[in-house]
A and B are shown apart, each in its own frame.
Chain A
């Protein structure tokens, strides 16, 4: 049975990323000293799109670090030491970081990401940008830049689709 509901279509998703980009410029007072960190997998693509927009507006390349949080998850006991925490690493000491993820749900992913960032440096400030904030936070974590608030029930799944790896852009909600 197909019970998917589109909550953000392609255009609304582009618009949300555009607005987040402007809000980052507004909050950060420009793009100097800025580094984006995308949480794998979809957070990376969203971070790259924001970086792409910043490049068009400000003509500056903002670095995008790809963060793998597998080893920092609180539901995994064993660490896989061969796993790299981050790729495309640049110096993040004293930088303003915008951490980018697709969905903010319990906040545990973000907590894990903060732990992982700790491993690669000590930034000046970390802000959080998410495409969707669906509520049910279990940790004292909130996003600074939100594409859309989607109040959801716990038995629903929210899927962010990015055309880089999915067949289209959008956000869909399905009931389990």
Chain B
């Protein structure tokens, strides 16, 4: 077994064994407490440039399958697990996690007590980490000197628009680092999708004549995004039904005057109960956030808070009082075992249909 080290930017190091690619990597450390969905996380552009730690102790046991990609190109920088599994009876499996990582040149480290690591990270201010072959002073110097990119969206979003044909309503999806699940859900509802790059202008979108717009989730900070994107959303909101997810939700909040803060500890998991205020229902959606809306900054004359995280109190959903615009912080296309409780895409399409009626009849 080849030894490998996970070193943290506060000088701590954890020793483990190498798997996957044998290279080294540096990135932001994300702690993911999902019980499943490791393939989805590894391929989700949301984790761009991050080293993902899975606290679920056994990872790899259903291999890699063609139906679970969130994007074809992988975004994560590295993976930290407790036990790497290579035994599978999944009928979907055609590739093991280990060979997948090797092929994608993603280094992994296993035999790490990831729950202890999580506890450590939650009590210390750790942001950056490296997976390295030696935990010497040089490695720590390099980790300290590394600068994390603030051009996240640009590196993962599609550079060109493309069509995902369907027989139903035409929807424009603004790609800020699109997860394929969003496309899957909208395709299930027969939407005719046009996916456009993150910086597409409002007039270009309008000329495509969509009946609604979805702003995708994506990596990075909502505060680093160009002002033109914010101005675009302001225009879209006035004219078309709009649905924002993750980063898209944060941007809609900014457009409507709310402030964003960075969470002390990013939250990646599906273990938080989230309350749907209008019906008092509780859901456990898949959450992945480093940023959150400052609750006090939400202007209640413009926005209604629709979902709230019951563990940390963060705003998880918003709706405009004046326009058919709504958004959620969590990822509405996947929830643990209770898929049916999250019908936000149906809600969006129905609000598009209602808006069409208002537009043509009044």
Contacts and interface: CB of A to CB of B under 8 A. Distances in A.
Contacts of A23: 354
Contact of A14 (B279, B321, B357): B279
A12 interface: yes
Interface stretch (B51-59, B187-195, B207-215, B342-350): B342-350
B304 A15 contact: no
A11 B354 contact: no
Interface string A130-150: 000000000000100110110
A56 B280 contact: yes
Contact of A146 (B280, B322, B354): B354
A7 interface: no
A176 to B, nearest CB: 28
A57 B346 contact: no
B350 A56 contact: no
Interface residues of A, number: 22
A53 interface: yes
A18 interface: yes
Interface residues of B, number: 23
A25 interface: yes
B321 A26 contact: yes
Contact of A26 (B323, B350, B353, B361): B323
B146 to A, nearest CB: 46
B167 interface: no
A56 B357 contact: no
A71 interface: no
Contacts of B340: 11
Nearest to A30: B321
A11 B280 CA distance: 14
B347 A21 contact: no
B279 A53 contact: yes
Contact of A29 (B320, B321, B350, B351): B321
B277 A56 contact: yes
Mostly, the B contact residues are: mixed
A7 to B, nearest CB: 14
B221 to A, nearest CB: 30
Interface string B304-322: 1010000000000001111
B343 A15 contact: yes
Contacts of A142: 361
Given A56-B279, A56-B280, A57-B277, A22 B319 contact: yes
Contact of A21 (B278, B323, B324): B278
Interface string A16-35: 10110111011001100000
Given A53-B278, A56-B278, A57-B278, A25 B350 contact: no
B321 A19 contact: no
Nearest to B347: A15
Nearest to A22: B319
Contacts of A22: 304, 319, 326
A25 B280 CA distance: 18
Nearest to B319: A22
A76 B306 CA distance: 46
A30 B354 CA distance: 19
Contacts of A30: 321
Nearest to B325: A26
A142 B306 CA distance: 29
Given A56-B278, A57-B277, A57-B278, A16 B321 contact: no
Contacts of A25: 304, 321
Q: Which 5 A-B pairs have the closest CB atoms?
A: A53-B278, A18-B278, A56-B278, A56-B277, A15-B347
14 contacts: A12-B346, A14-B279, A15-B346, A26-B323, A30-B321, A53-B278, A56-B277, A56-B279, A56-B280, A57-B304, A145-B354, A146-B354, A149-B353, A149-B357
Given A18-B279, A53-B279, 12 more contacts: A14-B279, A15-B346, A18-B347, A19-B350, A19-B354, A21-B278, A25-B321, A29-B321, A30-B321, A53-B278, A57-B278, A146-B354
